[in-house]
Structure 1
Amino acid sequence: MAIDPALSALAANTESTEPWARPSCPNCRSGYIGFAEPSEDESHESAPHHGHEAFEPDWIRGTFVIRGQCENRECQLAVHGTGDYFVDYSTQQVDFDSPGPLYSSYYKLTHLHPPMLLMPIPKSAPEEIREGVLRASRVLFADPGLAATALRATVERFLTAEGVTGGPSGKFQTADVRIKQWSAQDPTRLAVANLLLAVKWLGNAGTHEDADLTTTEVLEGAAMLDEAFHRVYTGPDLDARAQVINTAKGPSR
């Protein structure tokens, strides 16, 4: 399954000369969030330096706020974002009729509320899995390491929902052992178990004190978890439906 590419674009610096990425609406899932121009507030550290004889625009730093809204008229969910911005040379071609280089503001998004969903959640998935994905989504831009940890916890929530709770007499078991126990119940689960294990390793990396996980790496983990849940929750339903059609040799009504 594909993860919304707009999330990767929003995780990168957005130049003021470029349009903002339009993520899928987390409410209706059929519309897209369109963003207005951000509002900038220069920091008290850089603002006083405008009068300096050596001042350059790329000294400017600050914060910004931005508003988005679902373009689906039946939804129109409002989204509010915050982050940091700085000024630097523009990536656009220099206007040689203007004195000196051209500059742009660059926006680094750190928070969106409501959060954009990291991955679609199957309707048949337990509520605790939905909450795990939402937890990861809330901190995706602010703390990728924490988002990866939340995805790891979602794997644990999944195992608990599947009845793999631990060892004898409730003894604690590591996620690795629980994944192996779940996989051993059905030989067709091996591929899904490998996906779950990869998400677990990314989550482990996110818990370290010196964690340097990127948003791109977290989205990769989300893609793996999305595929795992698709095979567990959606795949069987499609297989069963296909069997009904095959038995009827046509539409089953």
Structure 2
Amino acid sequence: MANMLIKDLRVISHGLPEDVTLWPHIPCPTCKRKGLTLVENSLVREESKDSESLHSDPNWEPDCISGAFHCILQCNGRSCEIVRVVGAMSYGYKSTISSYEESPYCEFYNPTHFYPSLPLIESFDLCPEEVRKRVKIASAVLWADPSSAANRLRSAAEALMDDQGIMRKGLDRKGKTTDLNLHSRIELFQKAKPNLKEVGDLLLAVKFIGNVGSHESILDMHSVLDGVEIFDQALTLLYDNSSRAILDKAAMITARKGKPVDVLTEVPEQWNF
């Protein structure tokens, strides 16, 4: 299944503009389908002391302003949780202005935490519990620390190999027992299940993104969301049987030449194509 959540998260990662009517669709953590909207009068923004001290500088411009914000979001679903958001506030140029008199600047809000955290993957309910736990942690830290989220995705891939029965230990060249790294486990998975080789290929990409997040801390949000999208596709190929069910249904209909199951008479010869 296509991950429609990623499209929303990518837009959110660019910041929320001052005009709330321009905010993108923010997926609800509870129902995962409806969008969150701002609770009236809940948005609080505050300029930092350091930013205030710069106003006297002769070179000061509005885009020097910075600070923090917090707000409350809600879904119109009756059983859905409210969501609290905190993050950084800054000023930047508007994408469009309607007149020469209008200021070209506006506030932007860059979230660093959502509580509860926003959903990441479409296949969440299909995958094993240990994988879900790691994905939830990745979601919780994503906005504040993308590199840490990438590392959690890598850990989720390890849990996925556990679920697929791929051993964590093997023998080295000297015949001694040793821990297998994720790369080796994915290769074993591909050998054991050659029909799922493309799943292994996807997981290798997730592993490499996670490695960079663990050791170099240079990942941006875009790269991590790429990893999320790839991992979700791997989970879909493994656990989503809906496509298989549709193919099986099509095969049965073809075998009956379109004839309903409860109709027992033979299809007239002229209906054969």
Question: In the TM superposition, what whole-angstrom CA distance separates every residue of 1:75-112 from its partner, at most 9, and x where no partner exists?
Answer: 342011111111234333263346xx442112111111
With over 3 angstroms needed to count, the CA separation of the structure-2 counterparts of 1:52 and 1:145, relative to structure 1, is closer
Tell me the equivalent position of 1:183: 190
Determine helix, strand or coil for the equivalent of 1:45.
helix
**The 10-residue stretch of structure 1 (89-98 or 150-159) with the greater mean CA deviation from structure 2:** 89-98
TM-score, structure 1 normalization: 0.87
Offset of residue 201 of structure 1 = 0.4
Tell me the equivalent position of 1:228: 234
Q: Does 1:205 align with 2:212?
A: yes
The one-letter code of the counterpart of 2:137 is R
Q: Distance in 2 between matches of 1:197 and 1:178?
A: 10
Q: Which runs of 5+ in 2 are unaligned?
A: 172-176, 263-273
- How many residues get paired? 248
Give the superposed CA RMSD.
Answer: 2.5
Offset of residue 51 of structure 1 = 5.3
Larger radius of gyration: 2
2:30–2:80 CA contact under 8 A, matched in 1: no
1:22–1:35 CA contact under 8 A, matched in 2: no
The one-letter code of the counterpart of 1:2 is N
Offset of residue 38 of structure 1 = 3.0
Tell me the equivalent position of 2:74: 69
Offset of residue 11 of structure 1 = 0.8
Question: In the TM superposition, what whole-angstrom CA distance separates every residue of 1:204-246 from its partner, at most 9, and x where no partner exists?
Answer: 011124x2211111111111111111110013x5425642663
Q: Does 1:214 align with 2:215?
A: no
Q: Distance in 2 between matches of 1:160 and 1:95?
A: 60
Offset of residue 64 of structure 1 = 0.4
With over 3 angstroms needed to count, the CA separation of the structure-2 counterparts of 1:113 and 1:173, relative to structure 1, is same
Question: In the TM superposition, what whole-angstrom CA distance separates every residue of 1:102-153 from its partner, at most 9, and x where no partner exists?
Answer: 4211211111110011112343421101111111111111111111111111
With over 3 angstroms needed to count, the CA separation of the structure-2 counterparts of 1:63 and 1:122, relative to structure 1, is closer
The one-letter code of the counterpart of 2:64 is W
Q: 1:136 aligns with which of 135, 138, 145?
A: 138
- The share of aligned pairs that are identical, in percent, is 28
Determine helix, strand or coil for the equivalent of 2:113.
strand
Q: Distance in 2 between matches of 1:192 and 1:109?
A: 32
Determine helix, strand or coil for the equivalent of 1:22.
coil
With over 3 angstroms needed to count, the CA separation of the structure-2 counterparts of 1:225 and 1:89, relative to structure 1, is closer
1:33–1:70 CA contact under 8 A, matched in 2: yes
With over 3 angstroms needed to count, the CA separation of the structure-2 counterparts of 1:75 and 1:160, relative to structure 1, is same
Offset of residue 67 of structure 1 = 1.3
1:119–1:226 CA contact under 8 A, matched in 2: yes
Q: Distance in 2 between matches of 1:231 and 1:179?
A: 15
Determine helix, strand or coil for the equivalent of 1:12.
coil
Q: Distance in 1 between matches of 2:59 and 2:231?
A: 51
Q: Does 1:194 align with 2:185?
A: no
Tell me the equivalent position of 2:270: none
The one-letter code of the counterpart of 1:108 is N
Determine helix, strand or coil for the equivalent of 2:49.
coil
Q: Which runs of 5+ in 1 are unaligned?
A: none
Offset of residue 188 of structure 1 = 0.7
Tell me the equivalent position of 2:109: 107
2:118–2:139 CA contact under 8 A, matched in 1: yes
Q: Distance in 1 between matches of 2:4 and 2:154?
A: 17
Offset of residue 171 of structure 1 = 3.0
TM-score, structure 2 normalization: 0.81
With over 3 angstroms needed to count, the CA separation of the structure-2 counterparts of 1:53 and 1:219, relative to structure 1, is closer
